[in-house]
């Protein structure tokens, strides 16, 4: 158990933005939301999964929708309260703690803002170990934990309690609501027990985000080049370096979807890289060669200061490093691949673990 | 208070289909749903508004969505139970009675099926006196009664409780859900007290539907021609007679929208009539002359047997009579016109009461 200070929160936001794999929201907005809530309501305590009683009532919180929308349509804070109240009324019991459902610049921060306001601890865990675009893409789903009863609220004051027959129906219905309600909503989802989260959670993801964030912040302190230092820290693969030459982007069905083209720089001069995304980066190719696919993480960072770049801040001319990271082993199971593998997203290719794809390639997978 | 027999139910379905003004669903499907529920669960009692205690908890029930979809995607009966249970759980009290929200072949029958299954009476009242396509188009809305907390359920088993900030937001959110859930859902909406319904309800609409249904059924019994007999019964205006020459139809945004063209027959030979609809018939024109507009009722009946024709059963070649009826006075207020007048539906024309538009025209408005 520890109380989170401003620097810790900023580091978590920054590191989580990297793990967000392009999605999960802008860390600058995320940290502002968390810090503002803490300033208003008081500090937040983070506890370890092992500190949670087995029968405790846990409710993860997140913003759902297109990250691009979040920039213009900020939460006003009252959603959290309404969502928590609706959840507690529905279940007839108090919420013990909240947690992030995914790692991301905004979605690692929302639970902190909620925790501050609702005076509950936040648990050092999430349900992805990265970010993914859809409701059923959570490790809880792999363990058969239902996403509903869930609550959908918006900044206007609308509240809905959904009790669905499957996590795919939660996704379908809540996504339609997200679009109708302006492109983003707040959700309380996957209500579960302490015992559940011990089984299915990705542990210490907030602390890990913090470590990554600190590494990014300290990257100019040492003799080792920043990029190499970061890749060492996260056991990452360097996939490509280059300058963004094109961004094809559309906000549709409540997602940011698109394709990113990068012209090679330095060792990659003369080569091209293409990254496809749906909120998160899903497939990276160099020419015709597949470098990495979902569920492994494909992360972009600024080549100069190694800060993470989310899909909503991709811009022509930006110089980027494309990094590949191994996903959590839970995603590499049969059900994991079915749920978040490339074929689920419509790509006609098999999932091959990134370390196999990178075999023989210069790697930092230590 | 009276128990409804099979003939009464069939007459209500048929008469309500006329008042549905093209919408409200197919009376054949509607009566099957009601009769099946009564066969399974027992008879239904209909009570008058004045028999309802002021503090009774009333919950109208309806199918929401495109009528065309209802034909293929029938209710399986369990929605009613789930919706009622969700409503009672949310409010923490028992439902005293249900009622239709609109008059229509299906939507006057759903409350009968629900009443049979849930063993509550149905009230002889509705919230439109006709059918309209959107949630806020209910007389309760004109009296400031909120449509939510409302329940949306589907035949699959998904249940949602919506608590919205306005009736327009109920419409937006529930409509998006309707589309996501396959084009039609069941709703429990405008929960209110006995006192509320006494203020805002359109009284005796079920009995009136029954009378119209009986007139349609008996139309060949007397010497008076059926058409004249029906128009006498309902104080209707004959707007046009002809053969359907074209139906332009699309199912979009959860509605059946389109335009109907009719070539004149008999007295109207050489003339053309056009009817625009969004689930319900909204505007009728003869050449450039506007014959009638929403909120007055524009109803089509078969020219031979004067059975009502819903917008989902419009077909090339069908010989039809277009009838105009005065709407309830509640719709002729300023807020009424704002809510359901032609401009709300995007038609650049003023609402002029049908009896004014028909002045000088041969009329049956006795």
Q: pLDDT tens digit string along B88-140?
A: 999 999 999 999 999 999 999 999 999 999 999 999 999 999 999 999 999 99
Q: Is the pLDDT of residue B254 over 80?
A: no
Residue A250 distance to chain B (closest CA, Å):
20
Residue A165 distance to chain B (closest CA, Å):
6
d(CA B198, CA A56): 47
Per-residue pLDDT tens digits for A119-130: 999 999 999 999
| Partner B contacted by A156 (CB < 8 A) | yes
Tell me what pLDDT residue B102 has: 96
Tell me what pLDDT residue A221 has: 79
**Tokens standing for residue B289:** 């002359």
CB–CB contact B176 A177 (8 Å)? yes
Residue A190 distance to chain B (closest CA, Å):
16
Tell me what pLDDT residue B91 has: 96
Chain B hits for A172, CB-CB cut-off 8 Å, are: 180-181
Q: Is the pLDDT of residue B363 over 80?
A: no
Tell me what pLDDT residue A71 has: 63
Residue B136 distance to chain A (closest CA, Å):
16
- Whether residue B352 contacts residue B293, with contact meaning beta carbons closer than 8 Å, is answered with yes
Give residue A365's pLDDT band: very low, low, confident or very high (50, 70, 90): very low
The enclosing H or E element of A111 equals helix A110-118
From residue B82, how far is each of A191, B63, B86, B123 by CA, in Å? 21, 14, 6, 21
Q: Is the pLDDT of residue A204 over 80?
A: yes
CB–CB contact B176 A180 (8 Å)? yes
From residue A235, how far is each of A285, B62, B100 by CA, in Å? 20, 57, 63
CB–CB contact A179 B177 (8 Å)? no
Tell me what pLDDT residue B362 has: 53
**Can you list the domains of chain A with their CATH numbers?**
2-205 (3.40.1610.10), 223-357 (2.40.390.10)
| Distant-in-sequence, close-in-space partners of A48: CB < 8 Å, separation ≥ 6 | A1, A123, A124, A203, A204
Chain B hits for A164, CB-CB cut-off 8 Å, are: 157-159
User: Burial of A317 by CB count in 10 Å (0-12 exposed, 13-18 middle, 19+ buried)?
Assistant: exposed
CB–CB contact B158 A160 (8 Å)? no
* Mean of pLDDT values over A32-43: 94
Tell me what pLDDT residue A361 has: 62
d(CA B212, CA A173): 40
CB–CB contact A161 B158 (8 Å)? no
| Partner A contacted by B160 (CB < 8 A) | yes
The mean of the pLDDT values for chain A is 92
Q: Is the pLDDT of residue B366 over 60?
A: no
Per-residue pLDDT tens digits for B9-48: 999 999 999 999 999 989 999 999 999 999 999 999 999 9
| Partner A contacted by B165 (CB < 8 A) | yes
Q: Is the pLDDT of residue A254 over 80?
A: no
Q: Pick B173's closest partner by Cβ from A160, A163, A169.
A: A160
| Partner B contacted by A158 (CB < 8 A) | yes
Tell me what pLDDT residue B360 has: 65
* Complex confidence, ipTM: 0.86
Q: Is the pLDDT of residue A218 over 60?
A: yes
Chain A hits for B161, CB-CB cut-off 8 Å, are: 160-161
Residue B359 distance to chain A (closest CA, Å):
44
Chain A hits for B172, CB-CB cut-off 8 Å, are: 180-181
CB–CB contact B160 A158 (8 Å)? no
d(CA B140, CA B19): 19
3-state secondary structure of A58: strand
Residue of A nearest to B157 (CA): A165
d(CA B260, CA B248): 6
Give residue B73's pLDDT band: very low, low, confident or very high (50, 70, 90): low
Element counts in chain A: helices (H) and strands (E): 12, 19
Give residue B255's pLDDT band: very low, low, confident or very high (50, 70, 90): confident
Q: pTM for this structure?
A: 0.90
Between chain A and chain B, the number of residue pairs with CB atoms below 8 A apart is 57
Residue B324 distance to chain A (closest CA, Å):
35
CB–CB contact A173 B156 (8 Å)? no
Q: Count the neighbouring beta carbons within 10 Å of the beta carbon of residue B47.
A: 18
* Mean of pLDDT values over A7-32: 95
d(CA B281, CA A264): 61
Q: Count the neighbouring beta carbons within 10 Å of the beta carbon of residue A267.
A: 10
Q: What is the DSSP string of A157-206?
A: S-EEEEE-SSHHHHHHHHHHHHHHTTSEEEEE---EEHHHHHHH-EETHH
| Partner B contacted by A216 (CB < 8 A) | no
- Whether residue B322 contacts residue B21, with contact meaning beta carbons closer than 8 Å, is answered with no
| Partner A contacted by B314 (CB < 8 A) | no
d(CA B174, CA B185): 9
Q: Is the pLDDT of residue B328 over 70?
A: yes
Least confident of A347-356, B59-68, B257-266, B344-353: B59-68
From the candidates B161, B169, B187, which should be mutated to test the interface with A, based on the most A CB atoms within 10 A?
B161
């Amino acid at each position: 158990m520890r109380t989170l200070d401003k620097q810790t929160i900023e580091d978590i936001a920054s590191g989580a933005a990297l793990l967000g794999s392009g999605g999960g929201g802008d860390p600058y907005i995320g940290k502002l939301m968390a810090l503002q809530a803490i300033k208003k309501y008081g500090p937040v305590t983070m506890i370890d999964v092992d500190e949670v009683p087995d029968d405790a009532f846990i409710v993860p919180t997140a913003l759902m929708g297109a990250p691009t929308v979040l920039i213009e349509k900020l939460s006003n804070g009252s959603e959290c309260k309404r969502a928590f109240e609706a959840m507690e009324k529905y279940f007839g019991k108090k919420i013990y703690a909240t947690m992030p459902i995914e790692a991301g610049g905004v979605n690692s921060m929302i639970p902190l803002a909620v925790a501050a306001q609702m005076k509950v601890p936040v648990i050092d865990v999430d349900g992805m170990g990265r970010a993914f675009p859809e409701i059923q893409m959570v490790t809880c789903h792999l363990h058969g934990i239902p996403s509903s009863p869930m609550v959908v609220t918006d900044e206007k004051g609308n509240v809905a309690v959904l009790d669905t027959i499957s996590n795919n129906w939660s996704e379908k219905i809540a996504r339609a609501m997200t679009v109708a309600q302006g492109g983003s909503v707040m959700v309380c989802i996957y209500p579960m027990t302490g015992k559940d989260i011990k089984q299915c959670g990705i542990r210490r993801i907030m602390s890990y985000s913090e470590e990554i964030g600190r590494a990014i912040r300290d990257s100019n302190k040492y003799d080792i080049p920043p990029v190499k230092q970061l890749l060492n820290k996260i056991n990452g693969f360097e996939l490509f370096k280059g300058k963004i030459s094109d961004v094809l982007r559309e906000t549709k069905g409540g997602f940011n979807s698109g394709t990113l083209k990068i012209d090679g720089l330095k060792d990659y001069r003369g080569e091209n890289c293409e990254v496809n995304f749906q909120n998160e980066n899903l497939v990276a190719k160099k020419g015709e060669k597949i470098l990495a696919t979902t569920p492994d993480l494909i992360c972009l960072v600024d080549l100069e200061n190694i800060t993470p770049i989310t899909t909503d801040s991709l811009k022509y001319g930006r110089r980027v490093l494309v990094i590949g990271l191994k996903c959590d082993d839970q995603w590499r199971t049969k059900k994991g691949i079915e749920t978040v593998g490339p074929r689920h997203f419509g790509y006609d290719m098999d999932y091959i673990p990134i370390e196999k794809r990178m075999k023989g390639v210069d790697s930092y997978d230590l």
